[in-house]
Amino acid sequence: MIIKKGFLVLLLAVFVVMFANFLGNYTPSTDPGKLANFYLAEDSIEKLGSANVVTAIVVTYRGLDTLGEVSVLFLVASILGFFLTGTKRKEDEVVHAPSELLKTASGILVPLTFLFGAYVFINGHLTPGGGFQGGAIIASGSLLAMLANPFGHFKHTIISVVESLSGVTYVLLGGLGMVLAAGFLDNNILLPIGKVGNLFSAGAIPLIYSLVGLKVGTELSAMLIKLRDTGVEQ
C-alpha cells in the first residue's frame, strides 16, 4: 500500500517537473506552420468560396479525415445497437413522470431546436459550426422530446433511411469529385463556386455538410432512443 502510494507521488512529481519545464520554456509561436500557411493562403478562400476557412479545411483539404470521423461514429452506433438489443423496456419501469412545465415548453422548444440545428449545418460554410455541431444540436432536440414524453414512439424506419441515404450520398459526392474535379471529395463539382458569403456558394461544401449533419443527427438520436428503450438487466 505504502509502496503504491509512494509510486503515485513519485509519478506526480515527475509530471510536475515535466510540465513546469514546458511552461517555463513556453513562447507563443507567431507562425502557424508550413501546412497551416498553405491552408490559410490568400487564394484558398477565393478558390473554395467558403467564408469560414475552418469549414473549407475540414470538408475539402481534410475531407478524408471527416469521412473517417463519420465512419467512427457509425461504428460506435452499430456496436451500441448490437449490445442494446437484449431486453425490452417494460411499460411500468419509468420512475419519474415529466413535469407540466417540461411538457409545455418542449412543444415550443423542440421544433426551434431542430430548426437551429438545420441552420447551423446549412450555414456551415458561412458561420461557425457545421455538420457535427448541427447534428449534435438536432440530437439534443430529440432528447428533449424524449424527456417530455417518455413513452413517445419514434419512427425507426425513417431515422435509419435518412441516416443510410445521407451516408451513401456523401460517399457518392466524394466519388464524383474524382470524376469531375481534382480528386476525392473535391468541392468543385457541377455546382458553381459563386460569390463568397452567399448561401449558395462554395460548391459542394454546403451539400456535404448538410448530409453530414443529417447523418450525425439521426445517428446520435438513434443511439439515445436505443438507450431509452432498453430494459434493465435483471
Partner 1 sequence: MDSLTIVTIIIGVIMTLSAIMAVYHSDTATAIIAAGMVSLMASLLYVFLAAPDVAMTEAAIGSGLSTIIFFYALSKVRGGKKDDH
On whether the CB atoms of residues 77 and 219 are closer than 8 A, the answer is: yes
Residue ranges in 117-136 that form contacts with partner 1 under rule CB under 8 A: 120, 128-130, 132-133, 136
Q: Is the dihedral of CA 225, 229, 230, 231 positive or negative?
A: positive
The b/e string for 119-129 (b: 16+ C-beta within 10 A; e otherwise) is ebbbbbbbeeb
Q: Binding to partner 1 by residue 17, rule CB under 8 A?
A: no
x-marked contacts with partner 1 along 44-83 as a string, rule CB under 8 A: --------x-xx----------------------------
Q: Binding to partner 1 by residue 201, rule CB under 8 A?
A: no
Stretch that binds partner 1, among 2-10, 59-67, 138-146, 171-179 (CB under 8 A): 138-146
Q: Binding to partner 1 by residue 224, rule CB under 8 A?
A: yes
- Residue 176: CB minimum distance to partner 1, A: 26
Place of cell 509561436: 29
Stretch that binds partner 1, among 13-21, 22-30, 32-40, 224-232 (CB under 8 A): 224-232
Q: Quote the CA–CA distance of 167 and 161 in Å, as a whole number.
A: 10
Q: Quote the CA–CA distance of 70 and 89 in Å, as a whole number.
A: 29
On whether the CB atoms of residues 201 and 113 are closer than 8 A, the answer is: no
Residues that bind partner 1 (CB under 8 A): 52, 54-55, 93, 95, 120, 128-130, 132-133, 136-137, 139-140, 143, 220, 223-224, 227-228, 230, 232-233
